[in-house]
Amino acid sequence: MKQLQIPIHTKTLANGLRVVVVPDTTAPVVTLGVYYKIGFRLEPQGRSGFAHLFEHMMFQGSENAPKMQHIKLINSSGGVLNGSTMYDVTNYYEATPSNALERVMWLEADRMRALKVDDENLRNQRDVVKEEVRVNVLNQPYGGFPWLDMPPVAFRNWANAHNFYGDFADLDAASLVDVQKFFHTYYVPNNAVLLLLGDVKPEDALTLAEKYFGSIPAGAAPPFADPSEPPQEAERRGHVEEKFGTLPAMAIGYVMPKRRTPEWYAMALLDQALHGGRAGRIHRELVLEKQIAVEADGGIDDIFGYNGPTQMTTRILHKPEYSDEATLAAFDTVLQEVQQNGISDEELQQLKVKWRSDYYSTLEGGRGGYMPRYGLMHLLACFTLFDNDPQLVNTILDGFLAVTKEQVQAAARKFLRPENRAIVFRTPINKDAKEAA
Amino acid sequence: MATRVAEVSSLVPGLSPERAVNWPKRTRARLPNGLEVVLAEAHSIPKFHGELFFRAGNAQVVDRAPGLADMTATVVRTGTAKRPSRKIEEDLRSLGADLGTSASQDTSAISFAGLSEFSESILQLVNELAREAAFPEPEFERERRQKLEEVKLERTSPGFLAGERLRKVLFGSHPYAQISPSESEVAAYKREDLLSTYGQIYTPENGLLMLVGDFDPQAMLKTIEATFGNWTGQKPSAKQAPAPPKPRGRRVYMVHNPGSVQTQILIGCHAITRRDPDWIKLGLANSLYGGAFNSRLVMNIREDKGYTYSPRSGVHPLRHHGYFSVSAAVRNDVVAASLTEMFYEIDKLRSVPVPEAELADAQNYVTGVFSMGLATQEGLLSQFSTVELNELPPDYLETYRDKIRAVTPADLLATARKYFDSANMQIVVVGDRAQIEEQANLFGDVEVYGAQGGKIS
């Protein structure tokens, strides 16, 4: 068995910014990322959707790079860029030919140092974000299902339960004062990690990091609200109308154990057993064999990328001739089978091989083919910000490969219980597809 | 050729000298049975990515039914003479492999990736799927019923409805007009049609096997010869298709989608295929217009006006025809304003030469992004297969960047005038009729369709 060993170089600057470098000369390309340890989970109350709106503002201008310059400078250097807001982190990243590295570092440092935006920028991006919500959620069949539908049903702490894309009234209420306050609270070097991957020498990368980021002043340690949930004692259910889609849908989410515990590793393999494509038990039973469902998929979303309560979620679109309860009963039968009989040695072996293979692809893979090493960057960032240990990239696989079948069965019994789950039913309001001529 | 200098503020660090872009060497072979093989090493991870292409797809068999090659591909993975469906899926998992079967208009394909240590077993399974798919009746029946639900569901997606209408408008009775079958066409699929499609398309003489990854090419070639060498079968004869219509003048096609809180705009006109000598210039023109974040359209209707989150333009090369399109999902009250800006930016590129500095920016963008494909096995596979499937010159990748950099403002003006056919752009809007009809009327005669595809008025 060939194991990958990623060479990782790290340094913490005097202002608290952590720097992680992975040299790799496969292509004359460098990927740079800055991750801030703040996501939509802990955005301010009364400002739902703010963390994401703020992410947009980070492209609107900084001290020396006014609006449009950031995007223009990256694209015109032959690079691509984007940002994304997740539960517990927000990232900004660029992939460019390696001759543009210094320019990209200058740009990222400039917007870490000082954001320079005005009301016009905020109005503009508020409009853009509303269209983003419409195109992804409000005007799409099954838009936001289940990632926006599930939290208010599953969780009781506002941090975990609110609308992460934002209620439009909250987006409208967001002001420039909020923007600057959020920036000065969370976007400080001591709450971030800078990642450099690809065609760069480690010593050069660390020198450049010092040169461009070293003089940015540290901020106060950011306050983080407590995201913990009160214990759940009964199954929770919720209902959402489906405005466009033709099939009844449901999502079933089970709260996950704490990350990096033995139970968490076991749940990851159980997830593979249940949701691993067409070989996964849920798809096989509901779609291929019983033929109740048209789609049955899901799992633990971004398993390395969260730092608070989360779920393993199954998403099912089923044929209208089966009731929600009949579909749920068939789903429950699949889980009971694992709880009662566990999994075989052979199945466990298959799951581990597939896990290892998928892990390698995560490390290599880009986003849409044009963001080399995005996966590796993401893991390094999360292991640095949550665990203070980027070297986990090289060792965490061992934890999954050490799971026993007894642990998988025990995890199924302990976590896949009705009292540990929430269910959202998304029901079409319009079952008749005929149109008025 | 050095990177061209873009206009930037004095504080911005300059670009250091470029490192060479070297595409990995390809090992080519043609087996005696006609199967073409292209192999390339890439050792980023201990895996490999591959694709077995056949040079015929839905267009080849459209006279029997639209989407038939796609349905055939779907059922290919559900059983062979040696392995039932469940065993195929479990074997894939035990080899750390992913596999997909699909068909587009012009190709059918089995794509796969897996751990290098199991490459022989994975290729053996691919070989079985390509040669010995059994099309078990119950599997076919399940997939057909599954497909029925899918074709109902896709009619609820604004993006699908817009794409479907534009293709019908641009391609008329040509097979490219059909992007998806109707419910009744799916209901009429027969197992025998799938079997004959399979027999006709999945042959070595019609095939191209590409592998990129962590392996030794010479050893891999031996494995391929041993695995696929005794397969036989001829290339299907090429199909004649009717010429697509040439729509003259702007017309508006509205798809009424009741309850829409946004309008999907899609406009388009005929363009060219990748084999056309103008292709590279058109790609650059598209990048400037709406193909990049920094492009004119995005800066205008997103970053300046906030009409939309997702504006973009694209050039779409099919094997025998190509088209250009522009899309954006916009607020209902700015449909006319968005269309106006789309046409303004098109007309500007058609009438005013692009400033040198902006051209240099776009050239750097296109050449830089092109090189990103070097970093991953999937990226390499995608670039290599583009060259092979379109039968582009063998040095296409190696010379592409220089060709981009040789384009002048005059070339771009000529390209925009030739292919951004402003006067004859066809306009599709998908939204709530009551909210957008008045705006749509401003851009030409309007035909209204329902989401099920029928003409309303």
β-pair partners for A368: none
- Residues of A within 8 A of B373 (CB-CB) are 369-370
**Confidence bin at B3 (pLDDT 50/70/90):** very low
Phi and psi, residue B208, nearest 5°: -140, 115
- The dihedral built from the CA positions of residue B97, A147, B376 and A361, taken in this order, carries a sign that is negative
The rounded radius of gyration (Å) of the Cα atoms in chain B is 24
A365 touches chain B (CB under 8 A): yes
Q: Which amino acid is at A431?
A: K
Percentage above 70 pLDDT, chain A: 97
Say what the pLDDT of residue B233 is.
Answer: 96
Cβ–Cβ of B9/A276 closer than 8 Å?
Answer: no
Query: Cβ contacts of residue B340 below 8 Å, gap of 6+?
Result: none
Q: Above 90 in pLDDT, residue B373?
A: no
Residue B110 distance to chain A (closest CA, Å) = 16
How large is the ipTM?
A: 0.94
Rounded Cα gap, residues B240 and B224, in angstroms:
34
Q: In this structure, what token pair is assigned to residue A160?
A: 């975990």
Tokens 């000529």 belong to which residue? B414
**Confidence bin at A435 (pLDDT 50/70/90):** very low
Phi and psi, residue B312, nearest 5°: -165, 160
Say what the pLDDT of residue A2 is.
Answer: 62
Q: Beta-carbon neighbour count of residue A240 at 10 Å?
A: 20
A351 touches chain B (CB under 8 A): yes
Segment A10-45, tens digit of pLDDT: 999 999 999 999 999 989 999 999 999 999 999 999
Strand ranges (E), B95-163: 98-103, 108-115
Segment B320-360, tens digit of pLDDT: 999 999 999 999 999 999 999 999 999 999 999 999 999 99
Percentage above 90 pLDDT, chain A: 95
**Alpha-carbon distances of A106 from A10, A65, A200, A310, rounded to whole Å:** 20, 10, 16, 36
- Residues of A within 8 A of B377 (CB-CB) are 364
Phi and psi, residue A179, nearest 5°: -60, -50
Q: Above 50 in pLDDT, residue B7?
A: no
**Confidence bin at A194 (pLDDT 50/70/90):** very high
Q: Above 60 in pLDDT, residue A437?
A: no
Rounded Cα gap, residues A3 and B439, in angstroms:
60
**Confidence bin at A431 (pLDDT 50/70/90):** low
Q: What is the mean pLDDT of residues A164-169?
A: 96
A98 touches chain B (CB under 8 A): yes
Say what the pLDDT of residue B6 is.
Answer: 42
Rounded Cα gap, residues B143 and A324, in angstroms:
22
Q: How many CA atoms lie within 13 A of A53 on its CB side?
A: 36
Say what the pLDDT of residue B2 is.
Answer: 41
Rounded Cα gap, residues B118 and B103, in angstroms:
26
Residue B241 distance to chain A (closest CA, Å) = 32
Phi and psi, residue A120, nearest 5°: -60, -45
Mutation target vs A (from B5, B7, B43, B45; most A CBs, 10 A cutoff): B45
Cβ–Cβ of A131/B331 closer than 8 Å?
Answer: yes
Cβ–Cβ of A78/B365 closer than 8 Å?
Answer: yes
**Confidence bin at B62 (pLDDT 50/70/90):** very high
- The dihedral built from the CA positions of residue A366, A371, A373 and A374, taken in this order, carries a sign that is negative
- Residues of B within 8 A of A343 (CB-CB) are none
Say what the pLDDT of residue A16 is.
Answer: 98
- Residues of A within 8 A of B145 (CB-CB) are 291
Residues written for chain B: 457
Say what the pLDDT of residue A238 is.
Answer: 98
Cβ–Cβ of B149/A433 closer than 8 Å?
Answer: no
Give the A window 5-34 contacts with B, CB below 8 Å.
Answer: 24, 26-29
For A353, nearest residue in chain B (alpha carbons): B96
Pairing verdict, β B263-270 and B322-330 = antiparallel
Say what the pLDDT of residue A366 is.
Answer: 67
What is the distance in angstroms between the CA of the first residue and the CA of the last residue of chain B? 56
Say what the pLDDT of residue A4 is.
Answer: 84
Rounded Cα gap, residues A364 and A380, in angstroms:
13
Segment A68-105, tens digit of pLDDT: 899 999 999 999 999 999 999 999 999 999 999 999 99
Q: Above 60 in pLDDT, residue A340?
A: yes
A401 touches chain B (CB under 8 A): no
Residue A225 distance to chain B (closest CA, Å) = 31
Element (H, E) at B335: helix B335-351
A45 touches chain B (CB under 8 A): no
Q: Are the beta carbons of B398 and B371 closer than 8 angstroms?
A: no
Cβ–Cβ of B309/A128 closer than 8 Å?
Answer: yes
Say what the pLDDT of residue B1 is.
Answer: 38
DSSP state of B117: G
Cβ–Cβ of B157/A140 closer than 8 Å?
Answer: yes
Q: Beta-carbon neighbour count of residue B183 at 10 Å?
A: 15
Measuring CA to CA, which residue among B316, B312, B308, B340 is closest to residue B326?
Answer: B312
* Exposure letters A130-156 (e unless 16+ CB within 10 A, then b): bbbbbbbbbbbbbbbbbebbbbbbbbe
Cα–Cα–Cα angle for B348, B350, B356, nearest 5°?
A: 75
- Residues of B within 8 A of A364 (CB-CB) are 44-45, 47, 376-377
Segment A266-302, tens digit of pLDDT: 999 999 999 999 999 999 999 999 999 999 999 999 9
- Residues of B within 8 A of A132 (CB-CB) are 309-310
Rounded Cα gap, residues A407 and A410, in angstroms:
5
CB nearest B12 (choices: A79, A106, A437): A106
β-pair partners for B349: none
A402 touches chain B (CB under 8 A): no
Say what the pLDDT of residue B10 is.
Answer: 77
Rounded Cα gap, residues B387 and B397, in angstroms:
8
Measuring CA to CA, which residue among B94, B99, B120 is closest to residue B109?
Answer: B99
Tokens 């970053």 belong to which residue? B303
- Residues of A within 8 A of B212 (CB-CB) are none
pTM (two decimals):
0.96
Cβ–Cβ of B93/A243 closer than 8 Å?
Answer: no
Cβ–Cβ of B47/A73 closer than 8 Å?
Answer: no
- The dihedral built from the CA positions of residue B408, B414, B415 and B420, taken in this order, carries a sign that is positive
Give the A window 304-333 contacts with B, CB below 8 Å.
Answer: 317, 319
Q: Are the beta carbons of A381 and A33 closer than 8 angstroms?
A: yes
DSSP state of A91: E
Rounded Cα gap, residues A185 and A38, in angstroms:
10
Residue A75 distance to chain B (closest CA, Å) = 5
A131 touches chain B (CB under 8 A): yes
Q: In this structure, what token pair is assigned to residue A398?
A: 């061992």
Query: Which of A362-366, B26-30, B37-41 is predicted with the least confidence, judged by mean pLDDT?
Result: A362-366
**Residue A1 or B214, more confident:** B214
Rounded Cα gap, residues B46 and B451, in angstroms:
47
Q: Are the beta carbons of B163 and B314 closer than 8 angstroms?
A: no
Say what the pLDDT of residue A163 is.
Answer: 97
**Confidence bin at A400 (pLDDT 50/70/90):** very high
A118 touches chain B (CB under 8 A): no
Segment B72-114, tens digit of pLDDT: 999 999 999 999 999 999 999 999 999 999 999 999 999 999 9
Mean pLDDT of chain B: 96
**Confidence bin at B199 (pLDDT 50/70/90):** very high
Give the A window 65-84 contacts with B, CB below 8 Å.
Answer: 65, 67-69, 71-81
Query: Cβ contacts of residue B87 below 8 Å, gap of 6+?
Result: none
Q: What DSSP line would sit under B238-273, residue for residue? A: PPP-PPPP---S-EEEEEE-TT-SSEEEEEEEE---
Residue A234 distance to chain B (closest CA, Å) = 34
Q: Are the beta carbons of A20 and A385 closer than 8 angstroms?
A: no
Tokens 């909210």 belong to which residue? B435
Q: What DSSP line would sit under B290-309, residue for residue? A: IISTTSHHHIIIIIIT--BS
- State the helix-helix crossing angle for B433-441 and B335-351, rounded to 10 degrees: 30
Cβ–Cβ of A102/B302 closer than 8 Å?
Answer: no
